[in-house]
Structures are given as C-alpha cells and as structure tokens.
Amino acid sequence: MSDPIEPHPSSFVIFGVTGDLAARKLVPALHALQRSGSLHPETVVLGFGRSELSDDALRQRLGEALAEQLDGPLDDAWHHLSERIHYLRGGYDEPDAYARLAERLHDVGHGDHIYYTATPPQTYGDIVSGLADAGLAEEAEGYRRLVIEKPFGEDLDSARSLNALVLERFKETQVYRIDHYLAKETAQNLAVLRFANTLFEPIWSNRAIDHVQITMAEPMGMEGRGSFYDEAGVVRDVFQNHMLQLLALVTMEPPARYDADAVRDEKVKVLRALSCADPETAVLGQYTAGRSAPAYVDEPGVAPESRTPTYAAARFELHNWRWAGVPFYLRAGKRLEAKASEIVLTFRRPPHVPFDLPAPPRADRLILRLVPDEGISLRFNAKHPGQGIELDRVGLDFAYQGKYQRPNPDAYETLIQDVIEGDATLFMRADEVEVQWKVIAPLLAATDAKRPLPYAAGSMGPVEAAELLERDGRHWYRPRRA
Ligand code: BG6
C-alpha cells in the first residue's frame, strides 16, 4: 500500500546536484517515490550547482547514474520525473544566484519548497544566508523546508554557530537535520519492538541487561571520499551521529506519543545522561595495507602522514536509574572484515543453574541487525534432545527478507517522503546535535592526542579493542557475516 500523496506538488531544490550524494541517493530516492506513486506527479526538481550544464545534460547524467543502480533500463517513472528536472548554475556564496533561483522557482516550480544541502559542509552557512536574503525562507506562499546533511558542524562550537545561523533565518520547524540511520527499518523498529509489545520493556534495563554493544563495521575504504574523511575521521563521521542515535533509541524512555517533539525530547534527555567512560581506554586505529587493499595513507586525498583514525572503540556509561552500571561498548571502522551494523543486547546470566553442566550457560542475546540482512534475532539456550540435560544454542529469527516481498525502502526514500509530509521525527533537532557533540568531545580530544594503532585492512580492527571488553570479563560479539 503506498502512502497518500501530498495534496500540493512541491519544488525540490538540490544544492550540489552534480555531486555524489545527489546521484547515488537523492535522485534514486525521488525516482523510487515516483515509481511507488508516493510523489506528487507534478513535483519539480531544481538542481543547483557550480558547473556549466544544461537541463538535458543534467538529466542525462542523473539518468546514467540511476541506470547503473537499477542495473537495467530506465523506466517510465524516470522519464516522467526527468522531464521535471531543471538546472541552475550558481555559486553558493553568490547573492545574485539566489535571486535567480527565486525567479526560476517562480517560473518552473510550485509554492512549496524543499532545499537540500548536498554540498560540502563549509557551504551550509552561505546557502542558509543566500536563501534567507533572497526571501526564500519566508512561508507566505507555501512551506519552505531546509534539509541539512551531516556532518552538522565539526565540534560543539561550530555546531552551535551553525545552529545559531540557521535559526536566525529559519524556524526550527522548517529545519530537517539528516541522520539517515534513523530511517533504517531496524532503527525505526526499535521503538515498535520496545513500545508495541509487552515482552521486552520490562527486561529493558540494568535489572536484566548486562551490557550493550553497537557495531558499525564496513569493509569499504575511502571510495573517493579520502579528502573529506581525512578531515573528519571515524568519530565525526559516524560516532557523533549514527552510533549515538542508535544508542539513544535503545535507551530512551517511552515517549508519550511517537511524534517529533516527544521522541526528540526523550532522546535528548538520555543523551544528556551519557558520557564516554574513560577516553584513555578508547581504542583508535588506522588501517594499513592488507588483503589487496591499500593502506589508509595511500588512499587518494589522504595526507601521507595522516593520523586520522579510521577505527574507534570506546566504552560509554549512562547515569540514570534505568541504565546505571550497564556498559555500552561502541565500535566502528572502515576496511574491516565484516559488513555489519548491529546492536547486541546481552542479558545477565541466570542467578542459579539447577543442572550439572560442564560450563555455565551462555548469556542470552538480542541482536538487532541494521546492515545487512535487516532483522532481529534472539539467541538463547535450549535443551538438546535426548537423555539428560545438555544445552544447545538456538535462535528465534525475524528477517525482513523473506517476510516481505518488497525490499525495504532506502533510508533516503523514507526521509524525503517525511520532509514532504512535514514529519521531523526521524531528523535531529538543534539541541540533539549539540548534546551529541558534547558527548563525543572527550573522544575527539583523545583522537587529537593519540596516534592511531595500526590494523590490517580486512581484519576486525586493532587487537587492543578486544582488551576494552576483556578488562570487564566480556568479549565482542562476532557479526554473523564475514
Ligand atoms: C555515512 C558515513 O553517514 O554512513 C559513511 O559518512 C558510511 O562513512 C555510511 O559509509 C554508512 O551508511 P550505510 O547506510 O551504507 O550503512
């Protein structure tokens, strides 16, 4: 069943339309919405960029990128959408370009506007000011929504300044700060699992949970993003946003309603109680050559002497009643052996075991998989058939694939539709971004102070990361797929 189409068509302005994000994520998402009938058939896409390009050349270019992704011929949905794609050349710091944008929107567009910053982060300020100075933030003739890509700032101070600038020109309700992890089905399912069942919530605390692990392991390296990544590093790239957002979804209190204000209030509250336990014990790594992959420092765009970490693991604590005493171990890295984004909740062991067993029973685990094979698994002990008591490790598994015919929508498809519908639940609020930078600040300080430990591309990160848990008598859960 597709969602009801918005009554009015909107104009979707993509700043940085010739870049990678537009071709790889935004246009395919618009195409998917068009195909499923969820996009208003008169929606206009206005691409803005610095290159000299005609409307047709842009359509051609985006069509080729889409065909590659679809792995097949372009369909009617694309032909319909592409007729409504236009291009405008301009510099992001050129006031005149925004005046031309206003004219063009008037000529080819509609009253409702969405502005999307698919540009390098240093342009965000110019775009916000340019739009507002040209009167494009005023909502007299329709809505004006601003979607800001991550990274939102590079530390607490810069995030605060950017928030101040944005909120001087736009209202918070007009702003949609992206964290695409929030739109992954399993991330959204966390709230449903916890708050639409009675089974889990009573055991969702330090009374039953021993510890939580959040892993974001990626086999890929820089893929052309070397110069961006070398400035950012793993902590800014994924810890500050995706990892902390997942942690917040796991730990927040039940909101009274599932809406943007209530959900974000709860996330902010729990993030305020979070701290990096001891930045001294955090493990930072950088990949060296391995399994026919180059070393990080040999990737295009990376400085040869770079000390940027491509891997981090750290222990966090939550200082509140529900979670006091439960460690949260977070790890993320590039060029790792496995592709896996997952949350693993490990339960306490039984207080007393009435059987004669060669070893104590293993702890039960609930595994929430975001990437790949989205789904939820429960691993627990059961009796092996036959005489006497022997334990077997068994599982209950829910996988989206197999259960549903249609593959899960890409996160960007969900997010774009939410912006069109004016639902900011899956976007970050100003205070949320700032508290995340605050939580991560000690880890950023550690990355400045420490030289990253080497790990071979294709391994599971620096061996020292194991010690982070071994010290507490625990070990990392091994992702199912290598
Ligand atoms: C992005 C990071 O936000 O998320 C990338 O900048 C990372 O470094 C990507 O690869 C992972 O997203 P996904 O959806 O492929 O798991």
pLDDT band at 72 (very low <50, low <70, confident <90, very high): confident
Q: State the pLDDT at residue 3.
A: 55
445 near 279, Cβ under 8 Å? yes
- Checking if the pLDDT of 257 tops 90, the result is yes
Distance CA 138, CA 144 (A): 7
Instruction: Give, for ligand 1, the residue of 178, 180, 239, 373 to mutate: max count of ligand atoms closer than 8 Å to Cβ.
Output: 180
**Residue appearing with tokens 């494009």:** 136
472-481 mean pLDDT? 89
Can you tell me which atom of ligand 1 is nearest the CA of 370?
16
Which H or E run contains 146? Answer: strand 144-148
Q: State the pLDDT at residue 481.
A: 55
Distance CA 131, CA 124 (A): 11
- Checking if the pLDDT of 482 tops 60, the result is no
Residue 341 CB less than 6 A away from ligand 1: yes
285-309 mean pLDDT? 96
Q: Indicate which residue of 242, 319, 352, 475 is catalytic.
A: 242
Which residue owns the Cα nearest ligand 1 atom 4? 238
For the question of residue 211 being annotated catalytic, the response is no
Residue 112 CB less than 6 A away from ligand 1: no
Which residue owns the Cα nearest ligand 1 atom 10? 218
Ligand 1 center to 130 CA (angstroms): 29
Return the exposure string of 308-337: e unless at least 16 CB atoms fall within 10 Å of the residue's CB, then b.
bbbbbbbbbbbeeebbeebbbbbbbbbbbb
The neighbour count for residue 416, using CB atoms within 10 Å, is: 25
Strand partners, 367: 344, 377
> What's the chain's average pLDDT?
96
Distance CA 333, CA 372 (A): 16
3-state DSSP percent of the chain in helix, strand and coil, to 5: 40, 20, 40
pLDDT band at 254 (very low <50, low <70, confident <90, very high): very high
Over residues 407-449, the pLDDT tens digits come to 999 999 999 999 999 999 999 999 999 999 999 999 999 999 9
Distance CA 82, CA 75 (A): 11
pLDDT band at 6 (very low <50, low <70, confident <90, very high): low
Over residues 135-167, the pLDDT tens digits come to 999 999 899 999 999 999 999 999 999 999 999
184 near 244, Cβ under 8 Å? no
**Residue appearing with tokens 């339309």:** 17
Closest CA to 18 of 107, 120, 108: 120
Q: Mind spelling out the 3-state secondary structure of 115-138?
A: EEECCCHHHHHHHHHHHHHCCCCC
Ligand 1 center to 27 CA (angstroms): 17
Can you tell me which atom of ligand 1 is nearest the CA of 237?
6
Q: State the pLDDT at residue 4.
A: 59
Q: State the pLDDT at residue 355.
A: 97
Strand extents, DSSP E, 298-358: 311-318, 328-333, 340-347
Over residues 374-389, the pLDDT tens digits come to 999 999 999 999 999 9
What order of strands is seen across the sheet that includes strand 112-117? 85-89, 44-49, 10-15, 112-117, 144-148, 175-177
Distance CA 240, CA 437 (A): 6
Can you tell me which atom of ligand 1 is nearest the CA of 184?
14
Q: State the pLDDT at residue 383.
A: 97
239 near 332, Cβ under 8 Å? yes
Can you tell me which atom of ligand 1 is nearest the CA of 181?
14
Phi, psi of 46, deg, nearest 5? -115, 110
Instruction: Give, for ligand 1, the residue of 220, 237, 310 to mutate: max count of ligand atoms closer than 8 Å to Cβ.
Output: 237
Which H or E run contains 34? Answer: helix 27-35
Q: State the pLDDT at residue 10.
A: 95
CA distances, 230 to each of 199, 204, 307, 391, 461 (Å) = 44, 38, 9, 48, 18
Q: State the pLDDT at residue 106.
A: 95
**Position 16, amino acid:** G
Residue 342 CB less than 6 A away from ligand 1: no
224 near 295, Cβ under 8 Å? no
Side-chain half-sphere CA neighbours of 158 within 13 A: 12
Which residue owns the Cα nearest ligand 1 atom 8? 237
Q: State the pLDDT at residue 171.
A: 98
Which residue owns the Cα nearest ligand 1 atom 6? 237
Ligand 1 center to 88 CA (angstroms): 29
Q: State the pLDDT at residue 291.
A: 80
- Checking if the pLDDT of 170 tops 50, the result is yes
Residue 266 CB less than 6 A away from ligand 1: no
Q: Which residues contact 386 (CB under 8 A, 6 or more apart)?
A: none
Residue 237 CB less than 6 A away from ligand 1: yes
Ligand 1 center to 358 CA (angstroms): 43
Closest CA to 165 of 130, 134, 136: 130
The length of the chain is 482
Residue 245 CB less than 6 A away from ligand 1: no
Residue 179 CB less than 6 A away from ligand 1: no
Can you tell me which atom of ligand 1 is nearest the CA of 241?
3
Which residue owns the Cα nearest ligand 1 atom 7? 238
pLDDT band at 1 (very low <50, low <70, confident <90, very high): very low
Side-chain half-sphere CA neighbours of 39 within 13 A: 27
Which H or E run contains 187? Answer: helix 185-195
